């Protein structure tokens, strides 16, 4: 078996794990276990949310060192699950190199169904509006906001706009639509529309992962993700607040 | 009746969120995650007699995250999948809204009050996740007898 090729695949798995929203301890432990499975020595892994480095000693005694950067992180829970299974199989030595390559290629080349994501935006916006006490017209407006937000966020992501500015702009959009609908007497319960739709922007993953990182003892990563979560929550509030202030007198 | 509507909409809303977080093939995870979210809100409502939103949020999130950890063991999947979906109904979205509303209207007392309660709910949720995850970590160590050597 070609060691360097195996290590290349292992690095790729680590990068994908980071990209699709795994906790830091999971990335470190997965890499370590896979390398142990192949019998490498002196394995040291260090990871932070956008970067990891792996160093070890090959079977013939030469040192090996690699690092990967993963900038555009995007949660994809399906892939997280598949990668988790793949890591377990590799650590138990159940797969050959070719099989590993095929599975990784399959994960990487998989096409997303964007229509389902759009449906997700519309449905959860409408339903969380009902959750916060909205009636039929409010749900309708929320669904519309969900639809607009999906395309708005998609556009901003294509333009690679900073995530904080993106959140502020998106929350401004949702607040302005809700307030205008309220002012034109189309809806009566503006609160349910705004709270329901801002659920789409809440940084749930950042919060969960930061806590789980801190439990795992990775305070650097945990804190950086917690700051991310706090900043995003603040930007939601700022965006909504700005539009409330601007449209107050209209 | 209101509670029923809330639970139902929480279920469908969480199910919608699973698409946003890109669970498109493993629908069973979506269903379980949404069910846990609904259960969280149900527990929150059941303990309404406590009349303490922090305690209610804490207990509800504790149920959600403990069950998430159990489900993670059952399906051999990362527990994050279930916690991320399940925490949504408990996230203080209306807290953020009211905090901002009072800030804009210049009602400083109410602003401070809702700000602190939003913060308190978030901390309760965080504490619940911390406790349940730690409990399972300890359980795993005891079960596998993988104690840290204090040499």
- Give the distance from residue B65's alpha carbon to the nearest chain A alpha carbon, in angstroms: 10
Instruction: Assess whether pLDDT exceeds 80 at residue A54.
Output: yes
User: Helices A163-183 and A190-198 sit at what angle, rounded to 10 degrees?
Assistant: 160
Cα B40 from Cα B62, distance rounded (Å): 9
Q: What does the pLDDT average to over A159-178?
A: 93
Please name the residues in contact with A42: beta carbons below 8 A apart, sequence gap of 6 or more: A55, A56, A57
Average pLDDT over residues A57-86: 90
Q: Residue A1 has what pLDDT?
A: 62
Using a CB-CB cut-off of 8 Å, the residues of chain B touching A125 are 16
Place A104 in a pLDDT band, splitting at 50, 70 and 90. very high
Neighbours of A27 (CB within 10 A): 27
Of the candidates B11, B46, B13, the residue with the CA atom closest to the CA atom of residue B32: B11
Residue in B15, B22, B29 closest to A75 by CB: B22
**What 3-state class would DSSP assign to B130?**
helix
Q: How far apart are CA B102 and CA B30, in angstroms?
A: 36
What's the domain count of chain B? 1
Confidence of residue A250 (pLDDT cuts 50, 70, 90): low
How many residues are listed for chain A in this entry? 250
Alpha-carbon torsion (A113, A115, A118, A119), positive or negative: negative
User: Nearest-CA neighbor of A122 among A197, A178, A204, A233?
Assistant: A197
In a domain, B54, yes or no: yes
The verdict on a CB contact (< 8 Å) between A241 and B103 is yes
Residue B80 within a domain: yes
Tokens describing residue A103: 């599975």
User: Is A132 within 8 Å of A196 (Cβ atoms)?
Assistant: yes
Residue B47 lies in a domain: yes
**Cβ contact A191–B94 (<8 Å):** yes
In tens digits, chain B (151 residues) has pLDDT values of 888 999 999 999 999 999 998 888 889 999 999 999 999 999 999 999 988 999 999 999 999 999 999 999 999 999 989 998 999 899 888 888 888 889 888 899 999 999 999 999 989 998 999 899 889 989 988 988 888 877 6
pLDDT bin (cut points 50, 70, 90) of residue A71 is confident
User: Which residue on chain A is closest to B86 by alpha carbon?
Assistant: A204
What does the domain layout of chain A look like in residue ranges? 3-108, 114-246
Q: What is the pLDDT of residue B93?
A: 82
- Please report the pLDDT score of residue A113 as a whole number: 86
| B150 within some domain | no
Q: Scanning the structure block, which residue is given the tokens 């401070």?
A: B112
CB contact under 8 A, B93 and A75: no
Distance (Å, whole) CA A63 – CA A152 = 48
pLDDT at A215: 82
**Residue A183: pLDDT above 80?**
yes
Judge whether B151 lies within some domain.
no
Average pLDDT of every residue of chain A: 90
CB contact under 8 A, B24 and A198: no
- Residue B148 has a pLDDT of 80
Contact across the interface for A196 and B134, Cβ inside 8 Å:
no
- Are the C-beta atoms of A27 and A47 separated by less than 8 Å? yes
Its ipTM equals 0.89
Which chain B residues are closer than 8 Å to A198 by Cβ?
93, 96-97
Contact call for residues A81 and B77 (beta carbons, < 8 A)? yes
Q: Could you tell me which chain A residue has the CA closest to the CA of B122?
A: A207
Question: Are B25 and A241 an interchain contact pair (Cβ–Cβ within 8 Å)?
Answer: no
Q: What pLDDT score was predicted for residue A217?
A: 85
């Amino acid at each position: 078996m070609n060691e360097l090729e195996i290590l290349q695949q292992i690095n790729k798995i680590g990068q994908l794990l980071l990209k699709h929203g795994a906790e830091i301890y999971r990335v470190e432990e997965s890499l370590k276990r896979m390398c142990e499975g192949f019998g490498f020595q002196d394995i040291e892994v260090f990871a932070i949310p956008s970067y990891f480095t792996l160093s070890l000693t090959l079977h013939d005694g030469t040192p090996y060192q690699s690092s990967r950067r993963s900038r555009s992180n995007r949660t994809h829970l399906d892939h997280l699950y598949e990668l988790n299974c793949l890591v377990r199989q590799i650590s138990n030595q159940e797969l050959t190199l070719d099989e590993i390559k095929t599975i990784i290629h399959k994960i990487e080349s998989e096409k997303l169904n964007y229509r389902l994501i759009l449906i997700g935006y519309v449905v959860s916006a409408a339903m969380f509006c009902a959750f916060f006490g909205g009636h039929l017209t409010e749900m309708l407006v929320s669904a519309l906001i969900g639809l607009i937000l999906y395309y708005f966020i998609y556009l901003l992501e294509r333009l690679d706009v900073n995530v904080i500015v993106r959140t502020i702009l998106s929350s401004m959009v949702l607040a302005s639509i809700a307030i205008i609908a309220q002012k034109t007497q189309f809806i009566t319960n503006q609160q349910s529309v705004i709270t329901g739709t801002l659920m789409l922007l809440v940084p749930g993953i950042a919060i969960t992962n930061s806590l789980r990182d801190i439990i795992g003892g990775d305070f650097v990563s945990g804190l950086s993700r917690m700051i991310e979560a706090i900043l995003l929550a603040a930007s939601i509030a700022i965006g909504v607040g700005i539009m409330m202030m601007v449209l107050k007198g209209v | 009746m209101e509670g029923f509507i809330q639970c139902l909409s929480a279920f469908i809303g969480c199910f919608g969120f699973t698409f946003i977080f890109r669970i498109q093939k493993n629908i069973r995870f979506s269903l379980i995650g949404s069910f846990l979210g609904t259960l969280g809100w149900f527990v929150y409502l059941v303990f309404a007699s406590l009349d303490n939103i922090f305690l209610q949020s804490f207990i509800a999130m504790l149920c959600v995250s403990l069950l998430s950890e159990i489900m993670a063991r059952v399906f051999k999947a990362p527990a994050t999948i279930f916690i991320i979906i399940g925490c949504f109904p408990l996230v203080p979205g209306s807290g953020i809204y009211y905090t901002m509303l009072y800030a804009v209207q210049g009602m400083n007392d109410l602003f401070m009050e809702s700000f602190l309660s939003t913060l308190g709910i978030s901390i309760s949720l965080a504490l619940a996740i911390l406790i349940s995850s730690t409990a399972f970590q300890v359980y795993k160590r005891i079960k596998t007898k993988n104690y840290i050597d204090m040499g």
